[in-house]
Amino acid sequence: MTINIKEQLHTLCLSYVKQRLKAAEQAIAEAQEAANNDTKSSAGDKYETGREMAQQETNRNLSQLNEANKLLVALNQIGYKTSSDTVDAGSLVTTDNGIFYISISVGTLNFEEKSYFAVSPASPIGYKLKGKTAGEEINLNGKIYKILSVV
């Protein structure tokens, strides 16, 4: 049952990344089309300014595309189909202050009327949880999290 939840959470994370990829690719195409459609007017500076703005927009979206690709690579390396008693990437960690899926930083995922927090192993809470087992506690910014289970 829990492996199925992990699989569903992994699928939700994958959907999030694909949505980010698609949005960045679409924005790049739109910026490129705007640059191509910009015709040179008698005021040459206006043309150059418009092209420069389109180029900056394309560069910003390329950066977002690159970040989304990094998330996809990280997500594809997560072994969510296995179970371990020790928190690591792919673990589902139930604490007295929430349920955490250690994967990529997505934020809150809702599944079967429950909220799960998808966090990166490099995030502050992911880093503190890494290597811990059920029964242990972590302190994050003065808040104590008791680990109830690790799957």
The string of pLDDT tens digits covering residues 125-150 is 999 999 999 999 999 999 999 999 99
The helix or strand, by DSSP H or E, that contains position 62, with its residue range, turns out to be helix 44-76
Question: H or E element: which one contains 119?
Answer: strand 114-119
Considering only residues 28 and 99, tell me which one the structure prediction assigns the higher pLDDT: 99
Residue 71: band (very low, low, confident or very high) from pLDDT cuts 50, 70, 90: very high
| Dist. CA 68–CA 95, nearest whole Å | 29
pLDDT tens, position by position, 80-112: 888 889 999 999 999 999 999 999 999 999 998
- Band the pLDDT of 65: cuts 50, 70, 90: very high
pTM comes to 0.82
Helices and strands, number each (H, E), in the chain: 3, 6
